Amino acid sequence: MINKQVMQLLGLAGILGFISCSTSDQHAETAVATATPVQVTGAMRNVMWKGELQGTIALDTIQPKEHLYGLGPMEYLAGELLVADGKVYQSTVLTDSTMKVEEVQQAKAPFFVYGNVPQWHEQALPDSIQSIKQLENYLDQVTQNSQRPFAFRLKGEIQSATIHIVNLPEGTKVSSPDEAHQGQVNYQLDNEQVEIVGFFSTEHKAVFTHHDTYLHMHLITADKTKMGHLDEVKLRSGVIKLYLPEQSE
């Protein structure tokens, strides 16, 4: 009788253990499933070649805002947009040497890439990585086994950089990249503390990256007075931190 009772208790414990493990596994699967992948609306080529300048997405409709990162131009190519940790920054041209950067609640983009990154893995960027091309090659190398496309960030002091803000004259019709870049203003930065938000993809050329790169990046200075599309950069050795999304187990 005692042996039979022991066996029954052991059997019940096993069933409860199985239920507990199954429940834990379900929670783990749910946590992984809720991670938001990179999403894209519109396409760069449609803007540049077809003149589709109107907004395809209103940034205030993207949910959740928490840990949201994204970038693209303003509709009608009137400026640049950057979302960093849920905050939307908009930059517009004032003069050939000045710009206006403001945090806004509402903005629209003709194409936009975005995603939520709840956790980042921080690492020091190797001193040998100083240019955009070197960064592209490095990211391609170290993320061969990671989910792509992905968002990334850089923080630290740059030695120099060139950023631009699109500034298409109102009412301009566009049917080529040259026409799309009418009015664009380039700005030179030197010895600035910055944050760079970027997206990497080998599959989205002419969608959210240009045809000759896997990267699309926007730079904003630490004091939030300058922001734009990053064209060239010289990263200062020994002070740049790279942030990549934490990979789900």
How buried is 220 (Cβ within 10 angstroms: 0-12 exposed, 13-18 middle, 19+ buried)?
Answer: buried
Task: Return the DSSP state at 59.
Answer: G
Q: What is the pLDDT of residue 13?
A: 41
Q: What is the pLDDT of residues 133-180, one digit of tens each?
A: 999 999 999 998 888 899 999 999 999 999 999 999 999 999 999 999
Q: In what order do the strands lie in the sheet with 87-93?
A: 39-41, 112-116, 68-73, 80-84, 87-93, 99-104
* Four-point Cα dihedral 177, 111, 148, 60, nearest 10: 150
Banded model confidence at residue 247, pLDDT cuts 50, 70, 90: confident
What's the distance, Cα to Cα, between the start and end of the chain in Å?
Answer: 46
> 43-72 b/e with 16+ CB inside 10 Å = b?
bbebbbbebbbebbbebeebeeeeebbbbb
Confidence grade of residue 249 (pLDDT, cut at 50, 70, 90)? low
Q: Tell me the domain boundaries of the chain.
A: 39-245
pLDDT for 209 equals 77
The Cα 39–Cα 25 span in angstroms is 27
Contact present, 136 and 172 (Cβ < 8 Å): no
Which pLDDT score is estimated for 202? Answer: 84
Average pLDDT, the chain: 86
Mean pLDDT along residues 212-220: 91
What is this structure's pTM? 0.83
- In the numeric block, the tokens 């396409």 are attached to 43
Grouping H, G, I as helix, E, B as strand and the rest as coil, residue 69 is strand
Q: Is the pLDDT of residue 17 over 60?
A: no
* Residue whose entry in the numeric block shows the structure tokens 């064209």: 231
Q: Do residues 69 and 197 touch, judged by C-beta distance below 8 A? A: yes
Burial of 8 (0-12, 13-18, 19+ CB in 10 A): exposed
Asked if the model's pLDDT at residue 84 lies above 90, the reply is yes
Q: Quick one: average pLDDT of 227-233?
A: 97
CATH 3.30.1330.80 fits 39-245, yes or no: yes
The letter for the amino acid at 154 is: L
- Name 151's bridge partners: 199
